[in-house]
Amino acid sequence: MRILVVADVHANLAALQAVLAEAGEFETLWSLGDVVGYGAEPGACIELLRRYPLVAVAGNHDLAAVGAIGLEEFNPFAAEAARWTATQLSAAEKAWLSELPQVAAEGQFTLVHGSLMDPAWGYLFAASDAEEHLRRQPTPFGLVGHTHVPAVFFESEEAYLHGGASLALAERRFVANPGGVGQPRDGDPRAAYAVLDTEARRIEFRRAAYDIETTQAKIRAAGLPAYLAERLARGR
Ligand code: ZN
């Protein structure tokens, strides 16, 4: 089975469309949270994801947009975007976000936005952060989002992953992050995603170019903070 893995779409419709166009055939789509927040097209991203057989978990921005968590821990740009997003979503879109689980188990994989210690907010930036996560992970493999940086964490080892990298599903347990679709933060502005092939037992990390300028214009036209548009071009 081929599975398209996305994280941190962040209401960036053009980036999501580019990923879907380049991913090739897949049977199921896994979304690791933060479908909304920061970008100008939250509802359209939810609607597009929901056209596919989908397993999705909630991210901190999804929870903030429906009032399930407060905005105290958000930076001012993120908080402003969360308030704007709440005004844009339909009742059905909010209901869908509200019902997302925080953790999902699919075959040999555990899916969570942040970490198993703190599903909405925990960041895995280094192997030291991931140690406890791996101890708690009930499956051999795991997938997270939240940092927007493609990476893999083994017990006491980490590696950052550029487009074209791939990882075998073998004896070593790991938790991996495909990077962010809608707001990459590893210096490569292209949308980041992964394709998991359960027969070949391999996960591939990929990048897809998209129309950043048009996306930036939509963010500015929506009245969202200009910084959220500017950072897309830097991939930071
Ligand atoms: Zn995010």
Question: Which pairing describes strands 151-154 and 174-177: parallel, antiparallel, or unpaired?
Answer: antiparallel
Ligand 1: centre distance to CA 48 (Å): 18
Task: Work out how many domains the chain is built from and give that number.
Answer: 1
Q: How far is the CA of 197 from the centre of ligand 1 (A)?
A: 25
Low-confidence stretches of the chain (pLDDT < 50) are: none
**Residue 80 CA to ligand 1 centre (angstroms):** 15
Strands 174-177 and 141-143, bridge-based pairing: parallel
Q: In what order do the strands lie in the sheet with 202-208?
A: 54-56, 28-31, 2-6, 191-197, 202-208, 166-168
Q: How far does residue 171's CA lie from ligand 1's centre (Å)?
A: 30
CA 24 to the chain's CA centroid: 19
Return the sign of the alpha-carbon dihedral for residues 188, 118, 20, 39: negative
Q: What's the domain range around 193? A: 2-234
Q: How far is the CA of 153 from the centre of ligand 1 (A)?
A: 19
CA atoms of 92 and 109, how far apart (whole Å): 29
Backbone angles phi, psi at 45, to 5 degrees: -70, -40
pLDDT value for 156: 87
27 burial via Cβ count (<10 Å: 0-12, 13-18, 19+): exposed
Specify the pTM. 0.97
What are the residues whose beta carbons fall under 8 Å from the beta carbon of 72, sequence distance 6 or more? Answer: none
Which CATH number is 98's domain given? 3.60.21.10
Please give the backbone phi and psi of residue 212, each rounded to the nearest 5 degrees, phi first: -70, -40
Rounded to the nearest angstrom, the distance between the alpha carbon of 24 and the centre of ligand 1 is 25
- 185 Cα to the center of ligand 1, angstroms: 10
Whole-number Å distance, alpha carbon 87 to ligand 1 midpoint, is: 19
Q: How far is CA 120 from CA 129, 169, 170, 206, 220, in A?
A: 15, 26, 28, 25, 28
Model pLDDT, residue 97: 98
Least Cα distance to 175 among 210, 205, 130, 212 occurs for 130
Which residue in 139, 138, 141, 97 sits closest to 120, CA to CA?
97
Q: What CA–CA distance (Å, rounded) separates 29 from 48?
A: 11
Pairing of strands 28-31, 157-160: unpaired
Cα within 13 Å of Cα(104), Cβ side: 19
pLDDT of residue 143: 98
State the distance from the centre of ligand 1 to the C-alpha of 10, rounded, in angstroms: 7
Burial tier of 8 (Cβ tally within 10 Å: 0-12, 13-18, 19+): buried
